[in-house]
Structure 1
Amino acid sequence: MSRQFWAFNGLLILIASLLSCQTTVSKVDLSRDYYNIGNAYSDLGEYVKAAEYFERALVLNPDLNQAAFNLARTNLETENYETALTLLEDLEAEDSENLIVLEMLGYAWYKRGDEEKAGEYYRRSLSINPAHVRSLYNLSLLEKRNKNWGMSRYYLENLLKLEDKKEYRVLIAELAAAEEEYDLALDYYEDLVLEYDGDTVVYGAMKDLYLKTEMYYKALEMLDLLIESEPEDSLLKDYYFEKGNIEILYLDDIILGQDHLIQALDAGYSDKETLDALVSAIDLPYKGEFEKIIKDHLKEEEVQGDDETDSDGEEEEPITEG
C-alpha cells in the first residue's frame, strides 16, 4: 500500500490517542505527539497543516530541533523561503557543523534564487565531510547550470569514486561533449550501452554525438535502436525523418532516404520548415519527385482531417460524462 495510506492511518491513530488521554501529559510528551502529527500531515502533502503542528510542538518545547527543522522544510514546500531560512540559520547557530542543516540551507538558498549562497553551503558541507554525496551532486548541477563544465565534472568524478551510478556517468558524458571532448564522451556512452541495454536516453545522446562528429552510419545505428524500442508515434515519425535526412544529405543514398522519408510522412511527420529545408538541399534531378511525395502526403493528411468532421463541416462535439 502507498506511503500516504499508512501516513493517513497513522495520523488517525495519533489524533485518537491524544483525544483519549485521561491523565495529564507532560509538555515534552505532548510536543512529541504534535511533532509526530506534523510529520504525518507532511507525508500526506498537507504542509500548511503540518506547519501548524510543528509550531505547536515548538511552543511546548522550544528545544525540539527536529520540529524546527521539519517546520523549515514545510515552509520551503509552501515557498515561504525567508521563514525557512530563519529557522535553519537558528539551527546552524546551535550546531555549525550539522551536515543535514548545512545541506538544507544550501537547498533553501537555491530555492530562494541565490545559487552563489547555495554553493557556499554545499562547499562548507564538503569541508566537513569530503565524501558528502548530496553536496557533491548538487554542486555538480550548480556548476553545470552555470556552464562551468570542468568544475561540474570534478564533482561528478569524485562522486563516481564513492558510488558508481548510471546518472553520474551520463552527466559526465554530457559535460565531456559540452567541452568538445567527444572521444571521452563516446567512451562513457558506449560503456553505458553495454551495461544498460535498451536505454533510449543514452541512444539519443549517442545519436546526437555521432551526428556532431560526422559519424553518420553510427548515428543511423542509434536511430535503428530507437525505432526498435517501440517509441510513441510522435517520436517514431521524427526518427524516420532523421534517418531519411541523414541518408539523403550526408550519405547520398537517395533511394533509402526516400523510403524513410515516406515512412516518416506515413507516421504523421508534417513539419513544413524542415521538409522545405530538406527539399531545397536535394539535387535538381530528384527535387521535383520529393516535392510531389511531400505534397501528396500532406494533402492526404488534410483530407483525412476533413473526414473527421461531421456532414456540416463542423467538428463533432466530444462525448462527455453525464
Structure 2
Amino acid sequence: MNESFEDPRAAQSTVRRYERMVAHDEAAFFDLEEFEIIIDYYVTSAAFDKAQQACEVALSQYPFSTELLIDRAQISAMRGDYTEAERQISSVASLDPDNADVAVTRGIIATQRGDFEEAVRFFQAALAQNPDREDIHFNLGLAYQSWQKYKSAARHYKHSLRLHPDNETTVQELLNCLEASNRLPEHEDFFQRFTDDDPYSAIAWYNLGQYYYRLEKYEQAIAAFDYAIVIDADFYDAHHWLADTYVCQQQYQRAIAEFELSYPPNEPTDEALCNIGECYEKLREWELARQYYRKALDINPDMDEAWFGQGVLLQEQERPFEAIHFFRKAVELYGESGEYWSALGAAENQVGNVVSALEAYEKATEVAPDDATGWVSWSAILYEQGHYDEAIDLLSHAVELHPHEAHFHYMFCAYLLASGRLREAYQELETALSLNYEQHTLLFDYFPELEQQPALRRLIDQFRK
C-alpha cells in the first residue's frame, strides 16, 4: 500500500464524505484515487476493520483494480490473517508477476509474522526495481525497527523523509528509533536542513518542532510550531502539538487556546475536547473540565480517556463513590492501562471495598508490571491488614523497578520491622538513608508508631552525623 501524501484536510474531507455514505446507506461515487486515500487514512489510523470494509466497497466498484487487490492482501496481513493475505497476493502475482507491490506485500506479511530477515529481503527486492519509492523505504524501516536494528531503520526512515517530508508517521517512527539508539541529540542538523532548504515549508517547521519536543526543548519546539502556524494558520496538527508543548510547561490556558484551534471550525474532535477537559482539570476548574469531558463523550461514547478524566475529577473533589463508576467504565473500555486500574483500586479502598481494591491493584500489576504504583498500593493495603510477608513480597517488585527511590526503601524497612525481620529492616534503612537522608521523616509519616523505636532513632542519628 503506497503511503498517501495528499493534503490531510482534503483527505479528511473525503473520508467524512465516505462515512456519511456508509452511515446513511447512500450511493456515492468515488474514483479509484479517492478510495486509495480513504483506505490509507484508515490504515494509518490502525483502523484495519474499517480499511477492509472500504476496500471491499471499492472492489465492488473497481473489481479488476490490481492496486485494490494488493491493498486487500496487505490489510489482511495487518489484521493477522496471514494465510488469507498469502492467498490473495499469490492470486495477484499470477496476474502481474513483475509488480513490485507483490514483493512489498510479501514483505509486509513477513514483518507482521515476525520474520524480519525475510521481510527485508522482499523489500530490498522491491527497492531494486523502484529505488525512489518512499513507501518501500518506510516499510524497510518498520522491518528493521521491529527487528530492533534501529540504525538501519533510521537510515531508511530518513531516506523516506528526504523523498517526501510530509509523512508524520515516518517522522514519529524515526524519532522513536533515534531515542531507542540514544542518537536523538546528534540529529538536529538533519531536521534543520529541511527548514534551511525551504523556510516557507510548514511541514518542515512542524517536523523540527516534533524533534525539539522529543528532546524536551520546549521553547525551541514552541518557536518551530509557531513558524508552521504562521505559514499555514489551518495546520491543525501543529496547533495540537503546540498545545501539548504548553501542557508540558504547565501553561494550561495557552494550551486550551491552541487545542481549540486544532480542528476545523465547528468540527471538534473527541481528542481535542478531552485534552481541553484535562487542562481545566489541572486548573482545578471542575465544572468546565466536566463539561468538556462530556462533550468528548457525546462525540465518542467509548472514549476511555474521557471516562477516566471524569473519575479523576470526582476523586480530586473527594467523591470516591461516584468516581468508581467512571473508573470502572474506563477499565471496561481499555483494560490494558495500569493507571486506570490503580485509580480504581484507590477509589475502592477509600470507600472500604478492600477486596475490590486488591483485585484492581492485582490487575494493575498484570497489565503494567513495570509501573511501581500498583505494587506499592497493593502492598500498603496488605500491610494495613497485617499481612506483612505478603506486603514485603509485593513491595520488593517496586524496589527492583526503582532501586534509587528512597521512599520505597523506607516503606520496605517498615514492612520488615513489622514482620520482625530486624537485620533486613536495618539494611533497608541504611540504603534509604544513604539515598536520601532528608526523606527519613516519611518513615514516621507512613508509620508513626515507629518513632518510638530507640534503635531506629540511633541509626538515623548516626547518618545525620
TM-score bracket for this pair, using the shorter chain length: 0.5 to 0.7
Distance 1:222 1:71, change over 3 A: closer
Q: Distance in 2 between matches of 1:63 and 1:182?
A: 51
For residue 391 of structure 2, the aligned residue among 219, 222, 225 is 222
**Count, aligned residues:** 269
Instruction: Kindly indicate whether residue 2 of structure 2 is the aligned counterpart of residue 2 of structure 1.
Output: no
Residue 264 (structure 1) aligns with? 425
- Determine if contact 2:342/2:373 at 8 Å carries over to the other structure: no
- Determine if contact 2:305/2:330 at 8 Å carries over to the other structure: no
SS at match of 2:233: coil
Report the alpha carbon displacement of residue 172 of structure 1 after superposing the two structures with TM. Answer: 1.7
One-letter amino acid of the counterpart of residue 129, structure 1? N
Residue 305 (structure 2) aligns with? 134
- Determine if contact 2:252/2:279 at 8 Å carries over to the other structure: yes
Task: Using the TM superposition, name which of 140-149 and 7-16 deviates more.
Answer: 7-16
Report the alpha carbon displacement of residue 173 of structure 1 after superposing the two structures with TM. Answer: 2.0
Residue 11 (structure 2) aligns with? none
- Determine if contact 2:341/2:360 at 8 Å carries over to the other structure: yes
Distance 1:12 1:189, change over 3 A: closer
Distance 1:134 1:187, change over 3 A: closer
SS at match of 2:324: helix
Report the alpha carbon displacement of residue 276 of structure 1 after superposing the two structures with TM. Answer: 9.9
SS at match of 1:147: coil
One-letter amino acid of the counterpart of residue 331, structure 2? L
Distance 1:184 1:51, change over 3 A: closer
Q: Distance in 2 between matches of 1:144 and 1:133?
A: 17
RMSD over equivalenced CA pairs, Å: 4.2
Q: Distance in 2 between matches of 1:266 and 1:40?
A: 44
Q: Distance in 2 between matches of 1:278 and 1:44?
A: 44
| Bigger-Rg structure (1/2) | 1
For residue 18 of structure 1, the aligned residue among 198, 204, 213 is 198
Q: Distance in 2 between matches of 1:136 and 1:98?
A: 16
Q: Distance in 1 between matches of 2:395 and 2:305?
A: 32
Residue 316 (structure 1) aligns with? none
Task: Using the TM superposition, name which of 125-134 and 65-74 deviates more.
Answer: 65-74
Task: Using the TM superposition, name which of 94-103 and 35-44 deviates more.
Answer: 35-44
Residue 239 (structure 1) aligns with? 412
Per-residue deviation, residues 153-190 of structure 1 (Å, max 9, x unmatched):
21221122222224322322221110101122234345
Report the alpha carbon displacement of residue 196 of structure 1 after superposing the two structures with TM. Answer: 7.8
Instruction: Kindly indicate whether residue 323 of structure 2 is the aligned counterpart of residue 152 of structure 1.
Output: yes
Distance 1:12 1:171, change over 3 A: same
Residue 354 (structure 2) aligns with? 182
Q: Distance in 1 between matches of 2:281 and 2:311?
A: 14
SS at match of 2:330: helix
Q: Distance in 1 between matches of 2:429 and 2:354?
A: 34
- Determine if contact 1:236/1:264 at 8 Å carries over to the other structure: no
Report the alpha carbon displacement of residue 118 of structure 1 after superposing the two structures with TM. Answer: 2.0
Per-residue deviation, residues 198-249 of structure 1 (Å, max 9, x unmatched):
986545433432344x4x3x3333224545887559555653543443x5xx
One-letter amino acid of the counterpart of residue 17, structure 1? D
Q: Distance in 2 between matches of 1:144 and 1:6?
A: 43
- Determine if contact 2:345/2:360 at 8 Å carries over to the other structure: yes
- Determine if contact 1:238/1:264 at 8 Å carries over to the other structure: no
Q: Distance in 2 between matches of 1:32 and 1:198?
A: 36
Q: How does 1:66-215 map to 2 (within 5 A)?
A: 66-90=237-261, 94-165=265-336, 166-189=338-361, 201-212=373-384, 214=385
Q: Distance in 2 between matches of 1:32 and 1:154?
A: 42
**Unaligned regions of 5+ residues in structure 2, if any?**
1-176, 434-439
Distance 1:219 1:104, change over 3 A: same
One-letter amino acid of the counterpart of residue 307, structure 2? L
Q: Distance in 1 between matches of 2:396 and 2:229?
A: 57
SS at match of 1:2: helix
Residue 220 (structure 2) aligns with? 49
Q: Distance in 1 between matches of 2:262 and 2:370?
A: 46
- Determine if contact 1:7/1:41 at 8 Å carries over to the other structure: no
One-letter amino acid of the counterpart of residue 152, structure 1? A
- Determine if contact 1:54/1:67 at 8 Å carries over to the other structure: yes
- Determine if contact 1:241/1:261 at 8 Å carries over to the other structure: no
SS at match of 2:198: helix
SS at match of 1:45: coil
One-letter amino acid of the counterpart of residue 349, structure 2? A
- Determine if contact 2:236/2:263 at 8 Å carries over to the other structure: no
TM-score if structure 1 supplies the norm length?
0.64
- Determine if contact 2:391/2:415 at 8 Å carries over to the other structure: no
Q: Distance in 2 between matches of 1:105 and 1:196?
A: 27
SS at match of 1:221: helix
- Determine if contact 2:361/2:374 at 8 Å carries over to the other structure: yes
SS at match of 2:335: coil
Q: How does 1:246-257 map to 2 (within 5 A)?
A: 257=420
Task: Using the TM superposition, name which of 178-187 and 45-54 deviates more.
Answer: 45-54
Distance 1:267 1:301, change over 3 A: farther
